[in-house]
A and B are shown apart, each in its own frame.
Chain A
Amino acid sequence: MISIHALKNFPNLVTAVAVKNMKMKYKNSALGFVWSLLHPLAYLIIFTIVFSNAFPDIERYSLFALIGLMFWTYFNNTINQMMLSIINNASVLKTIAIPKLLFPFSALAAELFTFLLSFIPFFGLMIFFGLNFSSELLLLIPAVIIFSVFSFGAGLFLCTLNVFFRDIGLLWNTLSPAIFYFTPIAYSSKMIPEKYHLIITLNPLYHYIEFMRIILYQNAVPGIQMWLITIGMALCAALIGLLVYHKLKKNFVSFY
């Protein structure tokens, strides 16, 4: 029984919960938001020291790795926050009639905001690492939207299943470092032997990271095929996530 009023009010609700999420995330920490920069930066330093000598073929290695790290961090944080969003707010969902989708959606909104904010210092860093300015950089706006839709779908899917089986959260914690190294973040996909290429292309993140690099690193316009793949995957993920969520949401209440 969700009224029209509740739907109209949805943006206000998302803002309120997203702001709360951000306050809670950095509660009692002296550095607060800076932590969301330090995490990818720490990896960047390690990668630059370890890999830039190992992969001398990659020009402007720090820029190359930073692009991958930024989008990976955004994706990983979004999944982590979305996955816990419903079970962490069980007490609210048990007492107030609000659309449950509010919580995963707000988790995404908070992470997207943090990501956009982190773009400001990272943009400076990218210029320092040799980013070239060109009009193609504007394509980043649709690229981030497409990637967010994909993250939302994947996050909602995992979030829904996590209500019933907490194994999903534990499984993600185990798998995410593996996925991190399986995705060409620290290295270039060109280094992977031809025979493994099919496996690599099965990883959706591979396509998104490549997509971002074409725009930010090569200053080029991604080909039509890249657009179709990334948009297609984003829509599929969102559709699957929403379908699974809608099918199972009425049974949530006894599992909080």
Chain B
Amino acid sequence: MQSTVIKIENLYVDFYIQNQRINSFKDLIMSFGMVSPFEKKKILKGVSLDIKKGECFALMGKNGSGKSTLLRTLAGIITPSSGAIKVEGRIAPMLSIGAGIELELSGYDNIKLIATLMGMNSKEIKETTTFVEQFSELSKADLNMQVKRYSAGMTARLGFSISVAKTPDILIVDEALSVGDIGFQEKCAHRINEIKKSGCSIIYVSHSLVELKRICTHGACLVDGKIALTGPIDEVAAYYESLFH
């Protein structure tokens, strides 16, 4: 029996969003306090999931079904309204490639900055820098250049390389593999496999069923903030496809 690394129980997440009628102070004052400026929007409505150690878990669902919200809550970025999350180990969230990259700074400066923000110490930052130099295939001259002069693919290479530099206990991937040219995409897939082999659990979000079936063994499908189905990847993928027919 494999041990559970992530246990989510009855998770609810609400967002406060601006009431459509109230967008500025003027509207707020004009409403004489009769209308609350914010309204609650329920995103996740009672999600429960168990993810085992070493498992590669696919998360499917239509746009807006709450996949990214669930991943962000797992990563500790969003505070749940109620419910419990138990995580064992270090999570590396790869929620969007290139987030946090400052276009005005050089590639090297960005590696240092993002690695620091990810909580690395100076030794780990050095290792990350060496890793990125090799993995991204960007030359030293490229890395000394301001990122705003990079092509979109080069920026993606930089972002991806930084996020996979350190092998985490749990890797969260949100549609991240569609970056770079074919050569780099293969390299990314290879690196994900490497991370997987090291015993790390992976939660994978993608709309490409081929990719999901290749990498994952189990999965779940979110419908309107609730888990509609959990099970082996083929079953869940079939269910997900049936949503569109």
Q: Are A and B physically bound partners?
A: yes
* A interface with B by C-beta (< 8 Å): 1-2, 5-6, 9, 12-13, 16-17, 20, 23-24, 27-28, 91-98, 164-165, 167, 171, 250-251, 253-255
Instruction: Let me know if A167 and B24 touch, CB within 8 A.
Output: yes
Chain B residues within an 8 Å CB radius of A16: 112-113, 116-117
**A253 and B15 in contact (CB under 8 A), knowing A6-B119, A95-B95, A96-B93?**
yes
Residue of B nearest to A23 (CB): B105
A2 to B24, CA, bound (A): 33
Chain B residues within an 8 Å CB radius of A9: 119, 121
Instruction: Let me know if B105 and A253 touch, CB within 8 A.
Output: no
Q: Is B78 an interface position by the 8 A CB rule?
A: yes
Question: Which 4 A-B pairs have CB atoms at the shortest separation, nearest pair first?
Answer: A97-B76, A1-B76, A254-B15, A95-B99
Chain A residues within an 8 Å CB radius of B93: 95-97
Chain B residues within an 8 Å CB radius of A23: 104-105, 109
Chain B residues within an 8 Å CB radius of A167: 24-25
Residue of B nearest to A15 (CB): B116
Q: Is B156 an interface position by the 8 A CB rule?
A: no
Chain A residues within an 8 Å CB radius of B91: 97
Residue from B24, B72, B95, B105 within 8 A of A20 (CB atoms): B105
Residue from B38, B100, B104, B109 within 8 A of A95 (CB atoms): B100
Chain A residues within an 8 Å CB radius of B37: 164
13 further A-B pairs in the complex, CB-CB below 8 A; given A2-B76, A20-B105, A92-B117: A12-B121, A13-B116, A13-B117, A16-B117, A23-B105, A92-B99, A94-B95, A94-B99, A95-B95, A96-B75, A97-B75, A97-B76, A165-B25
Q: Is B32 an interface position by the 8 A CB rule?
A: no
Q: Is B17 an interface position by the 8 A CB rule?
A: yes
Q: What does the 1/0 interface line of B91-114 toward A look like (CB < 8 Å)?
A: 101011001101011000100111
Instruction: Let me know if B102 and A20 touch, CB within 8 A.
Output: yes
Instruction: Let me know if B105 and A94 touch, CB within 8 A.
Output: no
Instruction: Let me know if A94 and B113 touch, CB within 8 A.
Output: no
Chain B residues within an 8 Å CB radius of A255: 16, 18
A250 to B131, CA, bound (A): 35
A2 to B77, CA, bound (A): 10
Chain B residues within an 8 Å CB radius of A5: 119
